[in-house]
Structure 1
Amino acid sequence: MRVLVGGGTGFVGRALTQLLRSRGHEVTHVSRQGGKDRISWEELSYSGLPLCDAVVNLAGENVLNPFRRWGDAFCREVISSRVETTKTLAKAIADAEQPPRAWVLVTGVGYYRPSLTAEYTEDSPGGDFDFFSRLVSSWEAAALIPGSPARGVVVRSGVVLGRGGGAISQMLWPFRLGLGGPLGSGLQPFPWIHIRDLAGIVCHALESECLQGILNGVSPSSPATSNGTFAQELAAALGRPALLPVPAWAVQAVFGAERAIMLLEGQRVVPKHTLESGYHFIFPDLSGALRDIVA
């Protein structure tokens, strides 16, 4: 299978590329600049979709970049990096003489409203209550191609955990020094997934000829995981205590009140359709996932 991956040079993209190539698939990336096994977004806009069997979009500016101030300019960049790249790929698919068989978009569980009690499956409503939910709605709407023969799959990802990147890369040093702890109350749900499982779900979506629609990209044990539980498990995996909670005001001071919601609130998300589709998780439990990452 020939797979075109938008934004495939980042953390998730590297894992997906490695998995796809290990399974005998050819991978071409769409990035800011062209090169070996890649084309630029500008080239894609002008020349159209190269011949391929499937397209995946992983592109998106890191929302939780602590070095970027949360303001109108950064918000526009966050939106554009997701919605506009998705529109570009969708248009290229729609205009292609030989369209691909599959079109997969990775978005986020921010689509669902944060709650300490509610559980969400892929059939649950959401998408219109704050900046991030509306972002996911616009993002997924941009992927729709009426009348296209390409199977459409959307994977709503939780917090991605893995070596060498993702959320955990910024947490390891404080926890290794014994300075880690829960954020805010620590009671908020923590929807998570191991990087190998997120890549695995995308690969599963590409290779399953009848699969389409929404898949929740979270671990099966994710609904039972709180931020406090995560902090305790990470500290245990490192052989350190987790005694120093980070107050909500400190999180808001670093990230801004609107963006801090992503860390101080959370959703209990169930991968119902993902499991029903036949995907078998490599890391269903948090302790095993963390042992693999910090080993």
Structure 2
Amino acid sequence: MALKHIVVGGGTGFIGSQLIKSLSLEGVSCTCISRMPGPNRISWNDLESYGLPENTSAVINVAGQNVLDPMQRWSPGFKQNVRNSRVKTTKALADAVKSTKATVFATISGVAYYKPNDTVYTEESKCEPYDFLSRLTHDWEEAAKLSEDCNIRQVTIRSGVVLGRSGGMIKQIYLPFFLGLGGPIGTGNQYMPWIHITDLVNMFTFALKNSNVHGILNGVAPQLITNKEFTKAFAVAMKRPAVMPLPSFVLQILFSEERAKIMLEGQKVIPKRVTEMGFQYQYPNIENACKQLV
């Protein structure tokens, strides 16, 4: 499809800002939905009151409060904010997009949908909710669903850990690794489904442009790695040692046991449908991805 005007929910965040930058370089005009005012932006209240711009041809939602914000205590209030920032925004856009001429609605969710164990998960794998984050992911995806008689194509990308220099995990660990204080998390043996920010942005663009792309896509690189393997690759790229493991109990104290699980447990997730559809990764292996991050 020809991309004309795209509305991006959460367009000021780590992923959203990169999406808008990439689309703008292709000559696509974008409107960002954000809590912060600015040019080419509307607020979530504006969306509720006035709907989407008339010229909207596609809608993407990547809004979501950072679950691992170290400045936020894992309180009932913060958990509700985490939930609202994903489920409510997605539902608001799902309701609004039906009144436009948009042809595609693309949303993000997470690999927390899959339960950590030895199973190798593809997009066809089904998992029941088992904790707060998996329930959140199920509800997040449910909020995006349009009615069966709606002609708008839907895509949901279940993202792994997004690696990019300007945000996410890399922004948090860059200084400790630079100072030689990096190391594996816990045992380091947990699997770490990951994707480079460039590939995630390109996957969204691929989904928008190709009318045969629909349904669930696993937004992960094709290479299965453990946290220990990531740590080694990142340390080599930075030319620094990484021999100081971060013990599990420290994470549980800093983030709470429930949040620490995100870093201490991982899933084996492969992008079966993504590769079958012909998507080409720029960073399919962790060594090359890490070299670009330093």
- Equivalences for residues 130-149 of structure 1 within 5 A: 130-146=131-147, 147-149=149-151
After TM superposition, the score normalised by the length of structure 1 is 0.96
Match of 2:23 among 20, 23, 28: 20
Q: Which consecutive aligned stretches of 4+ in structure 1 deviate over 6 angstroms post-superposition? A: none
User: What's the counterpart of residue 63 of structure 2?
Assistant: 59
Match of 1:36 in 2: 39
The alignment-based identity, stated in percent, is 45
1:82 aligns with 2:82: no
* Secondary structure of the corresponding residue to residue 171 of structure 1: helix
Distance in 1 (CA, whole Å) between partners of 2:12 and 2:166 is 13
SS in 2 for 1:137: helix
Amino acid at match of 2:127: G
Secondary structure of 1:243 counterpart = coil
Could you give the per-residue CA deviations for residues 81-115 of structure 1, whole angstroms, max 9, x where no partner exists?
Answer: 00000111011112x1x331000001110100012
* Aligned amino acid, residue 112 of structure 1: Y
Equivalent residue number for residue 49 of structure 1: 52
Partner of 2:270: 270
Q: Tell me, what secondary structure is at the counterpart of 2:59?
A: strand
- Structure 2 Cα separation of the partners of residues 153 and 67 of structure 1: 33
Residue 19 of structure 1 and its aligned partner are, at CA, apart by 1.2
Structure 1, unaligned runs of 5 or more: none
Aligned: 1:5 with 2:8 = yes
Which deviates more, 270-279 or 57-66? 270-279
Instruction: Choose from 198, 215, 218 the match for 1:196.
Output: 198
Secondary structure of 2:116 counterpart: coil
Conserved 8 A contact 1:99-1:149: no
Cα separation, 2, equivalents of 1:161 and 1:23 = 23
**Inter-partner Cα distance in structure 2 for 1:75 and 1:201:** 29
Q: Distance in 2 between matches of 1:174 and 1:33?
A: 31
Contact 1:191 1:269 in 2 (8 A): yes
Q: How far does residue 24 in structure 1 lie from its aligned partner after superposition? A: 2.1
Q: Deviations over 1:106-165 (max 9, x none)?
A: 1110100012x2110000112411111110100000011102211000000000001111
State the shift of 1:33 in Å.
3.8
**Residues in 2 aligned to 1:33 and 1:241: alpha-carbon distance in whole angstroms:** 40
Aligned residue number for residue 257 of structure 1 = 257
SS at match of 1:43: helix
Q: What letter corresponds to residue 39 of structure 1 in structure 2?
A: I
Aligned residues: 289
Give the counterpart letter for 1:77 in structure 2: N
**1:191 to partner: Cα distance:** 0.6
CA distance in 1, matches of 2:128, 2:51: 31
Structure 2 equivalent of residue 220 of structure 1 = 222
TM-score, scaled relative to structure 2: 0.96
CA–CA distance in 2 between the matches of 1:141 and 1:265?
24
Which consecutive residues of structure 2, in runs of 5 or more, have no partner in the other structure?
none
Worse-matched range after superposition: 70-79 or 33-42: 33-42
C-alpha distance after superposition, 1:261-292 (max 9, x if no partner): 00000011100111111110000010100101
Query: Residue 250 and residue 277 in structure 1: after superposition, are their counterparts in 2 closer, same or farther (change >3 A)?
Result: same
